[in-house]
């Protein structure tokens, strides 16, 4: 409640949005606002300007290419992904989106906002890393393609730097995916989560244990727990889980995600 | 007793008495609330009002070395500020309930010289808009000199511990020794003495969805404040505020309509209300204060956190409970806002539901650098009942006995009712063993063996647990003298007025401040039965206004008492009105005696010749507007005020002996949990709640209270905790980290009821609604059953359950 | 929150010491420094904007050197004031000769306390953020040391 | 900034600060106090309204973002003052106690029933997951919604 003073701009195009972001050091892109607005209520952060990306058609939509590659606009909401026939090409996407928060949040919250805020408890950063997504970042310098694994730089920090925008996310075809989490109550905040993909070997991306998703690989789901233990994680402690407990949960959810992936 | 009880499995309501009472009629309150037309405190606006924002302490413990409000006051649109220094100059410290040393602390409406918890209000800023008030509050410069923080009550009395209140000479606020029966003899004759090192009941509250708030106006001409506020116990707030502000209580007019949940948490907003009053006078404009969720979590009404240490239980090998000894340590937080009443309130349920006669409890309450505690649904009894239930399950575990058998062996029996407890309380009625049978039947207890196996096959651990509790209602405020012999409180009361208006409207005014308990509906049911009309013909005024003169010192909605005190007052006032109608009709019909008359169809008539009929409309019109020629000695106003006063004596302060509450509603809950041993994650897969609150005026409303108490208990047992780090930062300051149950968290629920009417109350009802935290106890017991590990904490998040299994 | 570690600089101890005690180069190691004022050789004030994706966290940071034993030990008291967050930190470092000859080893530790809404609500993410800022400071420090070393040669 | 919104069929034009949340705008500027505020983190759902037919928590939306939108709030559900079947069902099933969360619950239930006229119990719980009630434990609310499902 009661935000600090902020300017509001509603650009008519992505180009205009980029100009606004570049021209104002304190400007921040406003996607679904389901995280940013709450941080602003706490006045823990207070951008000087909000550049509202809602309504920019260029950033919306889901396309399925002939080779099965999905391209999802950054401003596509969780609800849109859940309901999209195209998105079923990678079923895990809709399944995970359906467990994020609640209807109201899913109606506003976007895939781009979720990955760009990169809160360690978010669902999508580990999922994007596991499925080997490619993020398209647009800036004054033009377009960059960043593999999800390199996209996440820190808490609330990504390769989409000041004056840049994540415009779309490409996800290769695939079905053998899994996602597992221990949450605070049913479908609540994640205490530990993991996304897995089986493509010959098992690739698991762990959330909640570090500033960015941590990737571990193994030949089979049975090897995942050891791989997690070998990763030398130092998870944060908080009111819901000590570092020790979170580390243990990481081994469990990683294994469960891998088993689910292998079973499909 | 047993004969007058009937058993049913809700939701099918029981017909407990003829007439409207006993029927689940639809609530009169609902229409406005369903259409968004309720009036909650933040909905009230006044011309020129200023919005108040509090500057709060970021430190758990620090000296305030300087405060500079000049920058804030310089902002255009800022109306003014208030500091602790001003408060100290304008008011006296709040009256303290405690005897020494707690009596010596100096509690003001804003921090003076020192802050004692994170979130404590230091300065109030008032501005033209909500946003501006918060902006300006960021410009208030407060210099602090940090002090070490005390966050663990167990450290409070150790040498070198930081001291919150120098005036009290330490962190001890209150202590008292309670001892009844012959404890030493009991332990001498015991087959076994079971020792329990430490049990911990955690800090949480009911987090009503609406936080606190007020719109306060000051009428300069008559020097009187009108407080539109959602405070749920205006009688208490007035008693605290008047002396501090050095004004008579009638200068403080409390008005409220709809309140968005209270659960006890809205009793102690008097400090904030004083700030609003002082600013309304200082700035000569209405002051609007809305508390936001994070403010509420940081600073309002946490439930009492309590440790039980060195517990010893005297038992026989067959599981018979003889007595117990324990030391209770209560964490009051930074201020005694309603405390140390928690130090005696627990004694209303001293033996829990059990027949042990030899009990010794050493109660100590200390201050810590955390938010002040205040009543929370199940206030202080819940903590103690959790203790007695834990003791029973731990005893059963130690003796290798079935917890069901241990309970049945020790429950107070129906034939013992009314039962006098070792400390002189009188349990009015009940049949706990039958309630347990019903609860076990509802949960399918006999089939659980198979479910255990099935769970095991899926790698899960199934466990079942019982929580058997009492909801003691209608306080005898005389118990406060056990805390402080100098206090001049005793007994209890509530007020209602019922009148016939000029067109025959039946208008009821209550002294209570309901927050969803359906008072308008149940009051109308009681009136309709007496006046032989429909509840639709009865207008019960919504909310509370102390100018209606329909309140008394203990008026309010708290401590499970409306069905006794509130409805007792309604019944008394309505019977007065009925008798006046008989008198009036007798006179109008020309001296017809009362016994020849009867009420019917919204009027009164002569039994023998029903055509001689006087509708209420005529009665109202005659007395109010057409009274020429009435007999001079006709003493009729058709406006009847009745004060219900329960039959209480002042307890024996020396022996700490006496009847502390009038009624004892009972709850028996059974929870079935399924634990994932790999993670500690668990779910409640089945739940049954059986309640006995005597006659139920509206069974559906009663069941609603049972459901609500159950949901809150589930949240408290699994997730909800006000957790602090070593610096005194609250780590669960809002619903993001303080997880309350959502729809998907709720288990299947079966409710049941039996009705053991209270022999002591006007309607055979018992106060109910708090529920004694039965769900917390049941879930703890179920986790113990599933894991095979004794549960020593009331709060069991997944991590703790996982640790138990390591 | 306690964070500590050890770092080896490929530079002689006197160079490292100089850098560590030169406010100007300290300024270059702090994240998001907007202004840096030197009151005297023991007291400095910086206005920083710690970069966080959701918007930088602005803080006024007062630093005081409270202990010094040239050329191996120094201790700083750091007080940060920002709206929504206050930081109290005590940090110290001990310099020694790196074990296998050549270079300087630095054992450092910091006791960080964050107060205010960020301290409460941000607890979940503070640890990773602090670790990240520490890494930033250490690598910036390395750069400063190398620069000083170049100058010297 | 100039903002024009249509709420329950009435169009309002106002000048608002960009920082003002839609819920504050509805409650304080338009005096539509039926929608409530129960938290400050977007968790409680007491402020749930329909914006252009989409269920949102309007404490996570700026008023300026709603410019040109059509908004439905609890004040708009009743037809000429009469309770709708959903509201009647809440009354019959005792699905409200203090009534503070009720407006948001009704909006969430309304959104559900428009898309799914006969929801299952699980579908109802999932649809109400974003609305906190501290009085009822949800059981009666779920029953009330189920009962109006065809």
pLDDT (0 to 100) of residue C102: 78
Domain-terminating residue out of D21, D42, D76: D76
Return contacts of C73-78, CB within 8 angstroms, 24+ apart.
Answer: C74/C20, C74/C21
Interatomic CA distance for residues A67 and A173, integer angstroms:
7
Q: Worst-scoring range by mean pLDDT, B422-426, B781-785, C5-9, D60-64? A: C5-9
Decide the pairing of beta strands B661-675 and B682-692: antiparallel
List chains adjacent to chain A, taking adjacency as at least 3 C-beta pairs closer than 8 Å.
B, C, D
Question: What is the rounded (10 degree) CA torsion for C72, C77, C81, C86?
Answer: 100
CATH 3.90.1170.50 describes domain B41-147+210-260+267-299: yes
ipTM: 0.95
Nearest to B438 by CA among B190, B702, B690, B159: B690
Q: How many domains does chain D have?
A: 2
Share of chain C above pLDDT 90, in %: 27
pLDDT (0 to 100) of residue C52: 67
CATH, range B493-543+557-644:
3.30.365.10
Query: What residues contact residue C147 under an 8 Å CB cut-off, 6+ apart?
Result: C25
Check pLDDT > 60 for residue A133.
yes
Provide the shortest C-alpha distance from residue D139 to chain A (in Å): 16
Query: What residues contact residue B617 under an 8 Å CB cut-off, 6+ apart?
Result: B503, B504, B603
Same fold, B301-479+659-805 and B493-543+557-644: yes
Nearest to B675 by CA among B781, B777, B749, B783: B783
Interface of B with C in 249-308 (CB under 8 A): 294, 298
Are B376 and B720 a contacting pair, CB within 8 Å?
A: no
Cβ-based neighbour number of residue D120 at 10 Å: 11
The three-class DSSP label of residue B372 is coil
Q: How does DSSP assign B236-294, residue by residue?
A: HHHHHHHHHHT--GGGEEEEES--S--TTTTS--HHHHHHHHHHHHHHTS-EEEE--HH
Are A203 and A196 a contacting pair, CB within 8 Å?
A: yes
Query: What residues contact residue B627 under an 8 Å CB cut-off, 6+ apart?
Result: none
Residue ranges of domains in chain C = 2-152
Residues C69-90 pLDDT 10s: 988 899 999 998 876 678 888 9
Check pLDDT > 80 for residue A234.
yes
Interface of C with B in 67-86 (CB under 8 A): 83, 86
The CATH code of the domain that includes D6 is: 3.10.20.30
A8 and D127 within 8 Å at the Cβ level: the answer is no
Query: What residues contact residue B773 under an 8 Å CB cut-off, 6+ apart?
Result: B377, B378, B382, B385, B386, B467, B469, B709, B713, B716
Decide the pairing of beta strands B7-8 and B597-600: unpaired
Domain-terminating residue out of D76, D110, D139: D76
* D56 upstream amide cis, omega within 30 of 0: no
Provide the shortest C-alpha distance from residue C119 to chain B (in Å): 7
Domain that holds residue D90: 85-148
The three-class DSSP label of residue A215 is strand
Interatomic CA distance for residues C21 and B804, integer angstroms:
50
Residues B421-444 pLDDT 10s: 999 999 999 999 999 999 999 999
Residues B277-322 pLDDT 10s: 999 999 999 999 999 999 999 999 999 999 999 999 999 999 999 9
B743 and D24 within 8 Å at the Cβ level: the answer is no
Overall average pLDDT of the A144-173 stretch = 94
pLDDT (0 to 100) of residue B6: 33
Are C61 and C49 a contacting pair, CB within 8 Å?
A: no
Are A172 and A132 a contacting pair, CB within 8 Å?
A: yes
Nearest to B371 by CA among B268, B298, B307: B298
Best mutation target, D1, D4, D18, to test chain A (most A CBs within 10 A): D18
Interatomic CA distance for residues A68 and A32, integer angstroms:
27
- Please measure the distance between the N-terminal and C-terminal CA atoms of chain A and give it in whole angstroms: 45
Interatomic CA distance for residues B79 and B310, integer angstroms:
56
What does the DSSP 8-state code read for residue B411? B
Domain annotation for chain A: domains and CATH numbers: 7-52 (3.30.43.10), 61-171 (3.30.465.10), 177-263 (3.30.390.50)
Sheet holding B639-644, edge to edge: B538-540, B506-510, B494-500, B639-644
Chain A residues contacting B, CB < 8 Å? 1-5, 38, 42-43, 102, 182, 184-189, 191, 238-242, 245, 248-249, 252
Tokens of C11: 């530079």
Best mutation target, D62, D101, D104, D108, to test chain A (most A CBs within 10 A): D62
CA D124 to chain centre: 15
Select the CATH number that applies to the domain covering C2-152 from these four: 1.25.40.10, 3.40.718.10, 3.30.530.20, 3.50.50.60.
3.30.530.20
Residues D2-16 pLDDT 10s: 999 999 999 999 999
Are B646 and B565 a contacting pair, CB within 8 Å?
A: yes
The secondary structure of chain D, three-state, reads CEEEEEECCEEEEEECCCCCEHHHHHHHHCCCCCCCCCCCCCCCCCCEEEECCEEEECCCCEHHHHCCCEEECHHHCCECCECCHHHHHHHHCCCCCCCCCHHHHHHHHHHHHHHCCCCCHHHHHHHCCCCCCCCCCCHHHHHHHHHHCC
Count Cα atoms within 13 angstroms, Cβ side, for A247: 15
Q: Return the sign of the alpha-carbon dihedral for residues D19, D25, D27, D31.
A: positive
Q: Does D60 touch chain B (CB under 8 A)?
A: no
Q: DSSP alpha helices (H): ranges in B513-556?
A: 519-531
pLDDT (0 to 100) of residue B9: 35
A120 and C123 within 8 Å at the Cβ level: the answer is no
Are D20 and B131 a contacting pair, CB within 8 Å?
A: yes
What does the DSSP 8-state code read for residue B165? -
B468 DSSP β-pair partners? B668
Best mutation target, B31, B33, B37, to test chain D (most D CBs within 10 A): B33
Interatomic CA distance for residues B706 and B695, integer angstroms:
15
Quick one: D63 and D90 in the same domain? no
Tokens of A54: 């809602």
Check pLDDT > 60 for residue A76.
yes
pLDDT (0 to 100) of residue B11: 32
Domain-terminating residue out of D55, D76, D97: D76
Interatomic CA distance for residues C112 and A235, integer angstroms:
18
pLDDT (0 to 100) of residue C100: 76
Are B165 and B105 a contacting pair, CB within 8 Å?
A: yes
List chains adjacent to chain C, taking adjacency as at least 3 C-beta pairs closer than 8 Å.
A, B
Select the CATH number that applies to the domain covering B301-479+659-805 from these four: 3.40.50.620, 3.40.50.720, 3.30.365.10, 3.40.640.10.
3.30.365.10
What does the DSSP 8-state code read for residue B747? P
D62 and A4 within 8 Å at the Cβ level: the answer is no
Quick one: D57 and D89 in the same domain? no
Interatomic CA distance for residues B442 and B321, integer angstroms:
27
The three-class DSSP label of residue A88 is helix
Interatomic CA distance for residues C83 and B730, integer angstroms:
18
* pTM of the full structure: 0.95
Tokens of B760: 């002591």
Residue ranges of domains in chain B = 41-147+210-260+267-299, 301-479+659-805, 493-543+557-644
What stretch of H or E contains B115?
strand B114-115
Quick one: D9 and D70 in the same domain? yes
Q: Does A43 touch chain D (CB under 8 A)?
A: no
Extended strands (E) in B557-634: 597-600, 603-606, 613-615
Provide the shortest C-alpha distance from residue D30 to chain B (in Å): 12
Interatomic CA distance for residues B61 and B334, integer angstroms:
10
Low-confidence spans in chain B with pLDDT less than 50: 1-17
Q: Does C98 touch chain A (CB under 8 A)?
A: no
The backbone torsions φ and ψ at residue B309, rounded to the nearest 5 degrees and listed phi first, read -120, 160
Q: Quote the Cα angle for D137-D141-D143, to 5°.
A: 115
Check pLDDT > 50 for residue D34.
yes
């Amino acid at each position: 409640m009661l935000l600090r003073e902020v300017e509001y701009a509603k650009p008519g195009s992505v180009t205009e949005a980029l100009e606004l972001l570049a021209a104002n050091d304190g400007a921040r892109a406003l996607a679904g606002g389901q995280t940013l607005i709450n941080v602003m209520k706490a006045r823990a952060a207070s951008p000087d300007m909000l550049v509202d990306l809602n309504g920019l058609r260029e950033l919306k939509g889901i396309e399925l290419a002939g080779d099965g590659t999905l391209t999802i606009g950054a401003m596509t909401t969780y609800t849109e992904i859940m309901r999209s026939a195209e998105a079923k090409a990678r079923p895990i996407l809709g399944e995970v989106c359906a467990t994020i928060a609640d209807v109201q949040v899913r109606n506003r919250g976007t895939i781009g906002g979720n990955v760009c805020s990169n809160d360690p408890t978010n669902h999508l950063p580990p999922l994007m890393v596991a499925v080997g997504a490619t993020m398209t970042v647009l800036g004054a310098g033009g377009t960059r393609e960043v593999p999800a694994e390199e996209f996440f730089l820190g808490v609330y920090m990504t390769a989409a730097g000041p004056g840049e925008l994540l415009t779309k996310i490409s996800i290769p075809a695939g079905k053998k995916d899994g996602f597992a989490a221990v949450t605070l109550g049913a479908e609540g905040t994640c205490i530990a989560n993991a996304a897995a993909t089986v493509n010959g070997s098992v690739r698991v991306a762990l959330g909640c244990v570090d500033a960015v998703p941590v990737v571990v690989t193994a030949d089979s789901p049975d090897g995942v727990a050891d791989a997690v233990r070998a990763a030398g994680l130092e998870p944060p402690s908080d009111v819901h889980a000590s570092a020790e407990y979170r580390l243990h949960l990481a081994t469990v959810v990683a294994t469960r995600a891998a088993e689910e992936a292998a079973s499909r | 007793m047993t004969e007058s009880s009937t058993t049913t499995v809700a939701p099918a309501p029981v017909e407990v008495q003829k007439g409207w009472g006993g029927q689940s009629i639809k609530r009169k309150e609902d229409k406005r609330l369903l259409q968004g037309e309720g009036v909650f405190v933040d909905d009230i606006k006044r011309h020129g009002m200023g919005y108040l924002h509090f500057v709060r302490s970021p430190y758990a413990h620090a000296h305030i070395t300087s405060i500079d409000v000049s920058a804030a006051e310089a902002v255009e649109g800022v109306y003014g500020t208030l500091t602790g220094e001003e408060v100290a100059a304008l008011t006296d410290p709040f009256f303290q309930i405690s005897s020494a040393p707690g009596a010596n602390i100096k509690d003001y409406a804003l921090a003076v010289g020192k802050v004692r918890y994170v979130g404590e209000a230091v300065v109030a800023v008032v501005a033209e808009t909500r946003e501006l008030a918060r902006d300006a509050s960021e410009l208030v410069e407060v210099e602090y000199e940090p002090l070490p923080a005390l966050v663990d009550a167990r450290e409070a009395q150790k040498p070198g511990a930081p001291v919150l209140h120098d005036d009290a000479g330490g962190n001890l606020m209150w202590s008292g020794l309670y001892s009844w029966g012959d404890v030493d003899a009991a332990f001498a004759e015991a087959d076994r003495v079971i020792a329990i090192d430490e049990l911990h009941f955690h800090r949480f509250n009911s987090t009503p969805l609406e936080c606190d708030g007020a719109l306060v106006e000051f009428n300069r001409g008559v020097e009187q404040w009108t407080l539109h506020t959602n405070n749920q116990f205006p009688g208490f707030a007035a008693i605290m505020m008047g002396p501090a502000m050095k004004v008579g209580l009638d200068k403080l007019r409390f008005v409220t309509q709809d309140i968005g949940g209270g659960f006890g948490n809205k009793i102690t907003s008097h400090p904030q209300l004083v700030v609003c009053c002082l600013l309304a006078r200082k700035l000569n404009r209405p002051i609007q204060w809305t508390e936001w969720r994070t403010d509420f979590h940081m600073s309002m009404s946490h439930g009492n956190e309590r440790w039980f240490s060195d517990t010893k239980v005297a038992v026989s090998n067959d599981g018979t409970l003889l007595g117990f000894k324990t030391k209770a340590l209560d964490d009051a937080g930074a201020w005694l806002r309603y405390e140390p009443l928690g130090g005696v309130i627990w004694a209303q349920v001293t033996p829990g539901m059990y027949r042990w006669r030899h009990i010794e409890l050493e109660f100590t309450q200390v201050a810590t650098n955390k938010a002040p505690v205040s009543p929370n649904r199940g206030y202080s009894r819940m903590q103690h009942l959790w203790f007695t239930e834990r003791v029973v399950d731990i005893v059963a575990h130690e003796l290798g006995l079935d917890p069901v058998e241990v309970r049945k062996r020790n429950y107070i029996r129906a034939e013992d009712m009314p039962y006098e407890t070792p400390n002189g309380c009188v349990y009015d009625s009940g049949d706990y063993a039958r309630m347990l049978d019903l609860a076990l039947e509802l949960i399918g207890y006999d089939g659980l063996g198979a479910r255990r196996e099935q769970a095991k096959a899926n790698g899960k651990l199934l466990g079942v647990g019982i929580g058997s509790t009492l909801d003691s209602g209608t306080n005898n405020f005389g118990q406060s003298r056990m805390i402080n012999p100098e206090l001049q409180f005793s007994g209890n009361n509530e007020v209602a007025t019922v009148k016939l208006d000029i067109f025959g409207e039946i208008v009821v005014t209550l002294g209570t401040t309901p927050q969803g308990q359906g008072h308008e509906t149940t009051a109308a049911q009681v009136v309709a039965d007496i006046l032989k009309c429909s509840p639709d013909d009865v207008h019960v005024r919504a909310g509370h206004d102390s100018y209606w003169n329909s309140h008394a010192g203990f008026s309010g909605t708290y401590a499970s008492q409306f069905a006794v005190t509130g409805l007792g007052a309604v019944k008394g006032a309505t019977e007065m009105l009925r008798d006046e109608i008989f008198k009036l009709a007798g006179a109008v019909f020309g001296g017809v005696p009362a016994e020849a008359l009867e009420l019917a169809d919204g009027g009164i008539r002569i039994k023998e010749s029903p055509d001689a009929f006087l509708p209420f409309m005529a009665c109202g019109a005659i007395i109010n507007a057409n009274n020429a020629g009435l007999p001079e000695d006709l003493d009729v106003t058709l406006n009847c005020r009745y004060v219900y006063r329960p039959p209480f004596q002042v307890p024996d302060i020396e022996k700490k002996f006496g009847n502390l509450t009038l009624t004892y509603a009972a709850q028996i809950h059974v929870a079935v949990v399924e634990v994932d041993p790999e993670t500690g994650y668990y779910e409640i897969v089945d739940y049954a709640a059986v309640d006995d609150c005597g006659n139920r005026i509206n069974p559906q409303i009663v069941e609603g209270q049972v459901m609500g108490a159950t949901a809150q208990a589930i949240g408290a047992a699994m997730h909800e905790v006000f957790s602090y780090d070593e610096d005194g930062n609250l780590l669960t300051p809002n619903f993001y980290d303080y997880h309350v149950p959502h729809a998907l968290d709720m288990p299947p629920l079966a409710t049941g009821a039996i009705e053991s009417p209270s022999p002591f109350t006007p309607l055979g009802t018992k106060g109910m609604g708090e529920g004694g935290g039965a769900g917390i106890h049941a879930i703890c017991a179920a986790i113990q059953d599933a894991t095979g590990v004794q549960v020593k904490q009331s709060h069991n998040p997944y991590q703790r359950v996982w640790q138990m299994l390591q | 929150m306690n964070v500590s570690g050890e770092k080896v600089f490929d530079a002689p101890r006197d160079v490292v010491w100089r850098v560590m005690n030169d406010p100007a180069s300290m300024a270059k190691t702090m994240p998001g420094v907007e202004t840096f004022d030197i009151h005297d050789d023991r007291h400095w004030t910086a206005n920083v904007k710690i970069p966080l994706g959701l918007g930088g966290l602005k803080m006024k940071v007062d630093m005081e050197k409270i202990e010094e034993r040239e050329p191996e030990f120094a201790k700083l008291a750091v007080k940060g004031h920002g709206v929504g967050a206050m930081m109290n930190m005590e940090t110290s470092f001990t310099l020694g000769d790196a074990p296998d000859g050549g270079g300087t080893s630095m054992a450092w530790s910091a006791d960080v306390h964050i107060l205010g809404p960020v301290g409460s609500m941000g607890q979940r993410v503070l640890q990773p953020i602090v670790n990240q800022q520490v890494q930033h400071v250490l690598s910036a420090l390395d750069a400063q040391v190398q620069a000083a070393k170049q100058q010297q040669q | 900034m100039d903002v024009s919104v249509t709420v329950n069929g009435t169009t309002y034009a106002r000048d608002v600060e960009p920082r003002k949340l839609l819920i504050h705008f509805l409650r304080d500027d338009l005096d539509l106090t039926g929608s409530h505020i129960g938290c400050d983190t977007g968790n409680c759902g007491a402020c749930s309204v329909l914006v252009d037919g989409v269920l949102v928590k309007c404490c996570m939306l700026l008023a300026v973002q709603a410019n040109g939108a059509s908004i439905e709030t609890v004040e708009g559900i009743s037809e000429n003052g009469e309770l709708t079947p959903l509201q009647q069902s809440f009354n019959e099933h005792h699905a409200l106690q203090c009534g503070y969360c009720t407006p948001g619950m009704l909006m969430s239930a309304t959104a559900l029933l428009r898309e799914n006229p006969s929801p299952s119990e699980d579908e109802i719980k999932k649809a109400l997951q974003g609305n906190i009630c501290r009085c009822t434990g949800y059981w009666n609310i779920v029953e009330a919604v189920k009962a109006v499902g065809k």
